[in-house]
Chain A
Amino acid sequence: MRLGALLRTWLAFSSICLPSASARSVTGDRLLVLVPAVEAAIHDYSIFLDSLKRRGFEVSIRDAANSSIVLHIDGDRLYDHVALLAPAAKRFGAALSIHDFIHFVNTGGNMIVAASAALSDFHRRLAAQFGVEFDKHGTAVIDHSHYLSSKVSSNHTIVAASRLSHIPAVLSPPLLADEHPTIYFEGIAHNYDSQIPLLAPLLTGSRSTYSGSSVAVDRPSLKSTQAQLSGRSLGLVSIFQSRSNARVVFSGSSALFSDALVGAEHSTNGLFINDISQWAFQEKSVLREVDHRHRLASAAPSSLQPDHYRVSNVINYEIDLSVYYENKWHPYIADDVQFEATMLDPYLRLTLNRTQVPKSATVATYHGDIKLPDRYGTFTFSVNYKRAGFSSINVHDTVAIWPLRHDEYPRFLSAAYPYYAGSFVMVAGFLALCAAWLWNTGPTSKSSKPKSS
């Protein structure tokens, strides 16, 4: 009796505690936050840091200059995510180099890199590795039309940015639905390389936003002519997703995450930093391929996957996709999942249809009945799915397509009857000629005689 009550209490307790205790990120919950000064940061970024803790991260807040900081030990990552909130730091840890951070991303670690008007060269060089080029020293983002009017700053460097890219994988519905989001931004502009498909601008300047000297902003007419970056080409926040599906967010403003701007009037910073940190730390829009299979369309669904097909076979290809958000794997619903069969050149590229009855509640199955090309060789069957904000999926199988055996070709085709007739008529003609030739022995001498006579 007492034991049962105890068990019930424990169950009730664990059901309350487990959701907050369990890691929401798919890749892990070890988060390293690097700040200029720990005490001040805990105070300045309390809303952001508390939300991270609430979401189940093991947050280690460290002084950027702390010499004991290492990202890897013996090749293993010590952290799953890193947030750099120390824009002025010239170096991290004892001797962390840019390559250590690149290696961190290459091994699947995620990063948030926050900058400010006082940005160190270390950050510039790190960002340049990802195609993000921060503006020159001494510049800041300025907007004389959209700004936070406050006692603290009178020079319009706290910009109210609202131009969000429409990336539903990153931004949550309330933010996308908001026609006039107000994201306060105080920091430096960056130029994003639009040639890099892995990089996408998330928040850009509006028409009146420009990057100018942070010192002489009281004479904007003079400085605005020298502005290099302005309007849409001025990046405020950009997102990067590597080929290993590691995610990096570059924010030109570290103040964006601060309590001061999150708590400002009409501010949507809270929603925005929640969205970008959830995205960056693999808490949402994580796509995964659960299973895929192919077989002859005429074969039983449970039959073994063959290692080769014959030319022009009709096959059935299926792939199961899941997407992770809100702590669970959900079926991934889309209408643009494509199958490709390639042999150097793409021979087939077809959109797969979603199966109405999925295998399980966490996957969506996409299928297609595909007629293989009338070409033999070693083909690659692939689903190469890359969409903005979602993890990329690249599934491929190497499958041989054999030609027909010599006795497998269709015979006695009705289309070929004229050719059959033609060749047999030639045989008949030949026999007729032979007969005529042999029968005409007499006339030859007769006909040659009158000619000579």
Chain B
Amino acid sequence: MPAPTDVLTKLTRDYAATTPQRLKVIDTYMVFCVAVGLIQFVYCVLVGTFPYNAFLAGFGSAVACFVFAANLRIKTNPSNSRQFEASPESAFAEFVLCHIVLHFVITNFLG
């Protein structure tokens, strides 16, 4: 039975070696989304929900970006290419469009 540290090192090594560069960029972005969302959530827990619409907008923005990034990652992952007829370029175009709409909504809702 391999030690947990061995599993972790193997995991990171394999990730670094086999994951395409673009997916790594998306992964970084997703980690960033989680961090921004968590910070806002902790702030809300500490300070209270008073400008609730602002909290919803800020936190929702992070969550939605995470979801869009996850979709983009699934669609552009080469190992999933058999399931998707659309090209990675069209997936990226959808991603950009969704983001533009999202940020309009968020800015409007921010108060």
A contact residues vs B (CB 8 Å cutoff): 409, 411, 413, 415-416, 418-423, 425-427, 429-430, 432-434, 436-437, 440, 443-444, 446-448, 451
Contacts and interface: CB of A to CB of B under 8 A. Distances in A.
A207 B18 CA distance: 99
Given A413-B51, A416-B111, A425-B36, A448 B20 contact: yes
A429 B55 contact: no
Contact of A415 (B21, B39, B51): B51
Nearest to B25: A436
Contacts of A432: 29
A444 B22 contact: yes
The dominant DSSP class at the B interface is helix
A429 B29 contact: yes
B32 A419 contact: no
The dominant DSSP class at the A interface is helix
B21 A418 contact: no
Pick from A429, A434, A436 the residue with the most CB of B within 10 Å.
A429
Given A422-B36, A433-B69, A448-B78, 16 more contacts: A416-B54, A416-B55, A416-B111, A419-B54, A422-B37, A423-B57, A423-B61, A426-B33, A426-B62, A430-B99, A432-B29, A433-B26, A440-B25, A443-B21, A444-B20, A451-B78
Nearest to A435: B25
Nearest to B51: A416
A220 B54 CA distance: 83
22 contacts: A409-B111, A413-B111, A415-B47, A416-B54, A416-B55, A418-B40, A419-B51, A419-B54, A419-B58, A422-B36, A422-B39, A422-B59, A423-B110, A426-B33, A426-B36, A426-B65, A426-B106, A429-B29, A429-B36, A429-B65, A433-B69, A443-B20
A115 to B, nearest CB: 65
B10 interface: no
B47 A429 contact: no
Interface residues of B, number: 36
Contacts of B69: 433
Contacts of B15: none
B40 A422 contact: yes
Interface in B17-66: 18, 20-22, 25-26, 29, 32-33, 36-37, 39-40, 43, 47-48, 50-51, 54-55, 57-59, 61-62, 65
A276 B73 CA distance: 90
Contact of A433 (B21, B25, B39, B40): B25
Given A415-B47, A433-B29, A444-B21, A420 B65 contact: no
A433 B73 CA distance: 12
A448 B55 CA distance: 41
Contact of A423 (B18, B22, B99, B107): B107
Given A419-B57, A422-B40, A422-B58, A440 B22 contact: yes
Pick from A411, A419, A443, A448 the residue with the most CB of B within 10 Å.
A419
A55 B83 CA distance: 104
A46 B51 CA distance: 77
Contacts of A413: 50-51, 54, 111
A423 B58 contact: yes
A329 B90 CA distance: 87
A447 B40 contact: no
A420 B53 CA distance: 11
Given A419-B58, A422-B40, A434 B47 contact: no
A452 to B, nearest CB: 9
